[in-house]
Amino acid sequence: MMQTVLAVTAVILSLAAAGAIIRISRGPSLLDRVLASDVLLAILGAALCIDMAVNRHLNNLMLLVALSVVGFIGSVTVARYVADRREQANES
């Protein structure tokens, strides 16, 4: 039973990752690409959580926290950059 659940989750996460990679490559805007990369980091985090649950260990917990922090800081940085750019465009 556990192997079936693991296989189904692997397929779902793989399809989601493929969709995020397609969105990163096609765009069309910077915000779409950033959102897709954030989704890809969340998928990677989900895969790490599944690995920890299946193998009953916490070895990847620090990596999961680091991925979450990098995703959050990256998204906030790009959002502020785009907001500043739009504000400068409106002033001109």
Distance from C-alpha of 72 to C-alpha of 66, rounded to nearest angstrom: 10
List, for residues 32-57, the tens digit of each pLDDT value. Answer: 999 999 999 999 999 999 999 999 99
> Where are the chain's structural domains?
2-91
CB 74 within 8 A of CB 34: yes
Flag whether the pTM goes above 0.85: yes
pLDDT score, position 84: 86
pLDDT score, position 37: 94
For the record, the structure tokens of 22 come out as: 């397609």
Residues 6+ apart with CB under 8 A from 64: 45, 48, 49, 52
In the chain, which residues have pLDDT < 50?
A: none
